[in-house]
Amino acid sequence: MTTLRNLFIVGWVGLQVALPLSYYLGDDRFDERFAWRMFSPVRLSECRVKLVDRTDGAATIVRPNAELHEVWGNLLSRARSPVVHAYAKRWCDLRRDAGATAPALHAEITCENPARRGDAACAGALAAGAASAQPGCVVEPIDPAQNLCEVDR
């Protein structure tokens, strides 16, 4: 019993150290759920989110807000990666069910770099886009070249 309890305590404290640490050591700055990051500049960073259907070489904009509750739309617009991937999985599965053999969905997400919010050199960087903005002013949390239908299969 004592061993079990000690394991529980060690596991609990370990998780409470490891989860925030994994956020700071990881690549995804936009998923702060378990990081205890309150009053975060990430929450204030704006993102431009575009989901593009590139099946068969087309480039059609996908509008998830038309089918999802606004709470999910808000999380997508904050570049919450698990939500982007879950939506992509659903979209790709529906396309496959409809007969598409190789559906292709790409997430073109550009966000203000939270670490450089307020930096005058980065003013207007989001509007300029990832290609034209000064280096480091914007970030792309998900590789836009990645076909999410392949990743999340």
Partner 1 sequence: MSAYFDAFEVSARRLAVLRVLFFGLLAFDLWTIFLPHAPRFGAGGFNVSQVPALDAWLPLPTPGVVGALYIVGGLAAFCAALGVGVRLALPVVAACYSGVYFWSQSDSYQHHYLVSLLLVLLCFVPHGAWRGDATHVRSWAMRLVYVQVSLMYAWTAATKCDAAWLDGSTMNSLLSCEARLHVQAFGNALGWSEAGALRAVSASIMLGEFAAAALVLYAPWWTIGLFVIPFFHAGVEYLDFDIELFSYYMFVLLFALLLPQRWLDRGWDAVAQRLGGPREQVMRALNGDSVHPGVSTPWLIAGATALATFAVLRALPVDRADIGAVLAAAFALGVLAPWNRGAASVGTSSAIALIAGSGLCLAGLARSEALYDYHRQWGGYLRRSGDVEGAIARYESANAIQHDAPARHVALARLQLKRGEAAAAALNVDEALRRDEAAVSQANARARSASADAHDHLELGRAHVRLADTLKFAVEAFPAAGRSDDIAALQRKREGHLGDARSAFEANLRSDPACGAGRGELARLRSAGDGADR
Torsion of CA 78, 42, 131, 22, to 10 degrees: -90
Report in angstroms the alpha-carbon separations of 6 from 13, 20, 52, 138: 11, 22, 50, 45
Residue number with CB closer to partner 1 (59 or 136):
136
102-121: contacts with partner 1 (CB under 8 A): 114-118
What is the Cα–Cα distance from 105 to 153, expressed in whole angstroms?
A: 12
What is the Cα–Cα distance from 47 to 83, expressed in whole angstroms?
A: 15
Q: Nearest distance from residue 56's CB to partner 1, in Å?
A: 26
Q: Nearest distance from residue 108's CB to partner 1, in Å?
A: 20
Q: What's the farthest any 2 CA atoms get from each other in the chain?
A: 62
Which residue in the set 4, 61, 70, 99 belongs to the binding site for partner 1 (CB under 8 A)? 70
Residue number with CB closer to partner 1 (71 or 131):
71
2-61: contacts with partner 1 (CB under 8 A): 2, 5-6, 9-10, 12-13, 16-17, 20, 32-41, 44
Residue 138 touches partner 1, criterion: CB under 8 A: no
Q: Between helices 81-97 and 70-77, what is the axis angle to 10°? A: 120
Residue number with CB closer to partner 1 (8 or 127):
8
* 3-state SS, one letter per residue, for 120-140: HHHCCHHHHCCCCCCCCCEEC
Q: Nearest distance from residue 57's CB to partner 1, in Å?
A: 28
What is the Cα–Cα distance from 4 to 116, expressed in whole angstroms?
A: 46
Give the binding site for partner 1 (CB under 8 A).
2, 5-6, 9-10, 12-13, 16-17, 20, 32-41, 44, 66-72, 75, 80, 82-83, 85-87, 90, 114-118
